[in-house]
């Protein structure tokens, strides 16, 4: 019995779709396991022994082949000047960055601190995900925003969605109120009409929010009701919104852009600078042996070594004597 060589299997992944390649990969691994077991049985028979293929034998052969494939794939990555990407890890990192920055921004002011008090509000459904509607949270936040306006202070909050153990969506909201003010009970006020609410004063609201964004739960977010968002932010001032936008730009754009510069995505790929110059993306997405990877195709000059959001010192703003 024979099975495809390593080079043939790698070539297979270059010519078919990712899904087809994955299916072929698994099918070939099964064939390798069966072939290895038969080879072992034939060798045992020639030596006068009786052998029965076992799961352990097939598993060992498969592990060896997978290790060889991993080494070959790494070599192909190096030759192509590419590196593998973990889509889920990148998504998780972006989610934590957006939520963490917004929460920390709400906790400070231009003077470096606020006297506001953070509260955690949990909104829970009494029923199932079939009861969820996209306007439920929006309407509740609108009512909260109107209450803040009547009371005479800014409405500032960050929320994240999470699945309960029973698989039903619920929301965790961190909101900052002026010192001396208390957060109302949203269900008793009629702001949340779909189940129960819980309100606590939270000394470390940012840590609470980040705890609800556990990496192990990321796959479960695909089970959120269709159309449900992962998080939302309200009340950031203009500069903080621009800084949050800057954090989501590619590295070469960050190094050539302050938070107030308007870089725009181009149709078909790349970015347009405030001066109207087109900058193609530095990386393209490719597949190497069935693995998603990024390959560098451009290297753009960087004005500064950006380590965080910044603003240019424009002429006329600083006088030299």
The model's pLDDT over 217-253, given as tens digits with 9 standing for 90+, comes to 655 666 789 999 999 999 998 989 999 999 999 999 9
What angle in degrees, to the nearest 10, is found between the helix axes of 87-106 and 238-247? Answer: 160
Reported as a single tens digit per residue, the pLDDT across 11-26 is: 433 333 444 444 444 4
- Using CA atoms, how far apart are residues 155 and 167, in angstroms rounded to an integer? 30
Coarse DSSP helix, strand, coil percentages of the chain, rounded to the nearest 5 percent: 40, 20, 40
Taking the C-alpha atoms of residue 49 and residue 197, their distance in angstroms, rounded to an integer, is 70
pLDDT of 260: 92
Question: What's phi and psi for 312, nearest 5 deg?
Answer: -65, 145
Instruction: Look at residue 275 and give its three-state secondary structure.
Output: coil
Sign of the C-alpha dihedral, residues 175, 201, 93, 86? negative
Task: Give pLDDT, residue 201.
Answer: 94
Supply the pTM of this predicted model: 0.70
Residue spans of the chain under pLDDT 50 = 1-52
- E-assigned strands of 100-258? 117-125, 156-163, 169-177, 195-201, 231-234
What phi and psi values does residue 294 have, to the nearest 5 degrees? Answer: -115, 135
* Cβ partners under 8 Å of residue 181, min gap 6: 117, 151, 153
Q: What is the pLDDT of residue 20?
A: 45
Rounded distance, CA 114 to CA 95, Å? 25
Predicted pLDDT of residue 254: 95
Instruction: Supply the pLDDT for residue 69.
Output: 72
For residue 54, what pLDDT is reported? 55
- d(Cα 116, Cα 249) in Å, to the nearest integer? 31
Going along the chain from its start, the domains and CATH numbers come out as: 6-80 (no CATH), 87-236 (3.40.1310), 248-296 (no CATH)
Cα angle value 33/37/39 (rounded, 5°): 115
């Amino acid at each position: 019995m024979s099975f495809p060589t390593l080079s043939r299997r790698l070539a297979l992944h270059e010519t078919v779709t990712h899904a087809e390649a994955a299916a072929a990969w698994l099918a070939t691994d099964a064939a390798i396991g069966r072939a290895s077991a038969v080879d072992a049985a034939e060798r045992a028979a020639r030596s006068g022994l009786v052998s029965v293929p076992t799961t352990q034998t097939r598993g060992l052969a498969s592990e060896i082949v997978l290790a060889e494939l991993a080494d070959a794939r790494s070599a192909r990555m190096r030759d192509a000047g590419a590196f593998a990407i973990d889509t889920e890890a990148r998504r998780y990192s972006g989610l934590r960055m957006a939520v963490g920055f917004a929460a920390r921004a709400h906790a400070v002011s231009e003077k470096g601190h606020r006297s506001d008090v953070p509260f955690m509000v949990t909104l829970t459904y009494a029923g199932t995900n079939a009861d969820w509607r996209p306007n439920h949270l929006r309407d509740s936040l609108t009512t909260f925003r109107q209450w803040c306006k009547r009371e005479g202070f800014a409405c500032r909050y960050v929320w994240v969605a999470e699945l309960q153990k029973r698989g039903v969506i619920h929301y965790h909201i961190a909101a900052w109120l002026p010192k001396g003010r208390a957060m109302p009970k949203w269900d008793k006020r009629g702001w949340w009409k779909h189940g129960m609410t819980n309100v606590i004063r939270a000394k470390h609201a940012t840590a609470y929010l980040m705890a609800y964004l556990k990496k192990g739960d990321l796959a479960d977010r695909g089970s959120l009701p269709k159309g449900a968002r992962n998080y939302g932010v309200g009340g950031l001032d203009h500069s903080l919104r621009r800084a949050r936008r800057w954090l989501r730009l590619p590295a070469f754009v960050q190094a050539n852009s302050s938070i107030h510069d308007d870089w725009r995505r181009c149709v078909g790929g790349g970015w347009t600078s405030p001066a109207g110059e087109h900058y193609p993306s530095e990386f393209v997405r490719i597949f190497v042996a069935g693995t998603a990877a990024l390959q560098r195709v451009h290297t753009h000059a960087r004005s500064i070594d950006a380590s965080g959001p910044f603003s240019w010192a424009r002429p006329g703003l600083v006088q030299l004597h």
